[in-house]
Amino acid sequence: MLEVERLVKHFSVKRGVVFGRTLGHVRAVDDVSFSIARGETLALVGESGCGKSTTGRLIMRLMAPTSGSVRFKGKDITRLEKAAMRRMRRHMQIIFQDPYASLNPRLTVGETLAEPLSVHGIAEGSSALARVRELLDVVGLLPEHARRYPHQFSGGQRQRIGIARALAVNPDLIVCDEPVSALDVSIQAQIVNLLKSLQYRFGLSYLFIAHDLAIVKHVSDRVAVMYLGKLVEIADKRTLYSCPRHPYSQALLSAIPKPDPQSRGERIILAGDVPSALSPPSGCRFHTRCLYAQQRCRTEVPELRDAGHGHRVACHFYESVPVIKTADSANPANMGKFAVRLAAYEAAKDRSLANKQSAGASVAT
């Protein structure tokens, strides 16, 4: 469905408004390659500022890449003209982190959902109204919500509207840019559940950008880890959570809080802060914080190397980096914090449904 190859985005930093002198370049995304299959969810994780959201925007062509290519269904979209790109956007959509900022406050929900239908020539008039009602139903909202404005909804409901807007044009790929980070913990479970059921129903592919590894574990098929604009490890979810090989992935995974004291793994504390993307360290960008750094790491950039079964690691010495005990390797049946939350939500939903049914039965008798 999607092939990203050697994608690069550098932002120039200038001084002066009129005759701006270029002081340097922020290397937000540097030589990033991955692919996503039909119906698959690839999660892109990393600390804030590592370039994951920029990668999502480059894929959507919301900004132009410095170099590299993005192929969608076999077609290179990095060099498409504006009109051709607009047509292509019908097949690829994005859900933003802040549902309120991403909705036009002057448009009703009905108008918001009808807009893409009209722009792409999918439906007008009564057929657009019918489609809006259908979309609201698909994301768990009511037909009367079409007449309301975004400020009349809760954060979770606004994100449902954002999802409905993305679905309006029947896309194949959705870039989910931190779709639940701005929501309450209880609402996160509902939105993630909704995204999963929509994927199953419509055969969607997701690029799921997030920093919460507990949520990522629940939604993803494969996980790609980014550090300072570069991919450092990519593997299927089970492999990455039970046997991370890159020292940075190991540190990230060791930092997930575990609800079960029996299944706690090792905790790795990284020294220092993330270096500036304006002047990233030479060689391996992680060498200033890595426990296993050697002389070669300071001069030579590590390539992503195959560690077997689609697991790739960008580390010169990953074979000799000790394997750590994670919560998953300690307990393969470990559900994870988010799955525990989700199970509690599902149980509460079932209880409320059962209560409603028993109340209905007693009224009938």
**For the range 150-156, what are the long-range contacts, defined as Cβ-Cβ under 8 Å and sequence gap of 24 or more?**
150/100, 150/103, 150/104, 150/105, 150/109, 150/112, 151/100, 151/105, 153/109, 154/187, 155/99, 155/100, 155/182, 155/183, 155/184, 155/187, 156/183, 156/184, 156/187, 156/190, 156/191
Question: In this chain, which stretch among 201-209, 217-225, 287-295, 326-334 interacts with ligand SF4, using CB under 6 A?
Answer: 287-295
Number of C-beta neighbours around residue 149 at 10 A? 15
Contact window for ligand SF4 (CB under 6 A) among 35-43, 85-93, 102-110, 281-289? 281-289
The reply on whether position 227 binds ligand SF4 by CB under 6 A is no
Site string for ligand SF4, 142-171 (x = CB under 6 A): ------------------------------
Residue 312 found at the interface with ligand SF4 (CB under 6 A): no
* CB 292 to ligand SF4: min, Å: 4
The least CB distance from residue 317 to ligand SF4, in Å, is 4
Q: Does residue 315 interact with ligand SF4 by CB under 6 A?
A: yes
297 is an interface residue for ligand SF4 by CB under 6 A: yes
How many other CB atoms are there within 10 angstroms of residue 190's CB atom? 19
Is residue 286 near ligand SF4 by the rule CB under 6 A? yes
317 touching ligand SF4, by CB under 6 A = yes
Q: Decide: is 270 part of the binding site for ligand SF4 (CB under 6 A).
A: no
Binding of ligand SF4 by 302 (CB under 6 A): yes
248 within 8 A of 268, measured Cβ to Cβ: no
Sheet (strand 21-36) strand order: 21-36, 2-15, 67-72, 75-76
What gap in Å lies between CA 86 and CA 232, rounded to an integer? 33
Residue written as token pair 């993803």: 220
Residue 180 touching ligand SF4 (CB under 6 A): no
Binding to ligand SF4 by residue 251, rule CB under 6 A? Answer: no
Contacting residues toward ligand SF4, per CB under 6 A: 246-247, 284, 286-287, 290, 292-293, 297, 302, 315-317
